[in-house]
Structure 1
Amino acid sequence: MKNRLKVLRAERDWSQAVLAEKLDVSRQTINAIETGKYDPSLPLAFKFAALFGLTIEDIFEPEP
């Protein structure tokens, strides 16, 4: 799944560790999601959306 997490995180000058702490997950989880190795659960996707003030669809998009 494609995502805009790295860009959104960079716009706020947050490290992966800072974002992980805000979402109560590990830095490794953030890295895996950003690199497309792991798709977040629906509850975690909602947490990302709430944190960034966007819809889930604004952050994540399925691969064609």
Structure 2
Amino acid sequence: MTTLRLSPEPRPLGKSGISVFPIAWGMWRLAGEDIAEARARVEAALDAGITLLDTADIYGCDTP
């Protein structure tokens, strides 16, 4: 097994001038009716330093 050492320092997001956490939270499939639960998850990610939230819905097949 290989260990990946990753600095938590923000990194530039392309040429946008925006700096983000080096790991993204893939939020695809974050769904449901409970807004408070969804908000708690997002706030927990932000509290952990995650600032790159990937909300794309194009990954994988969307069938049961």
Q: For the superposition of Structure 1 and Structure 2, which TM-score range results when normalised by the shorter chain? A: under 0.3
- Larger fraction in strand: 2
- Larger fraction in helix: 1
- Tell me the TM-score normalised to structure 2 length: 0.27
- Tell me the TM-score normalised to structure 1 length: 0.27
Q: Which has the higher contact order (CA 8 A, sep 6+)?
A: 1
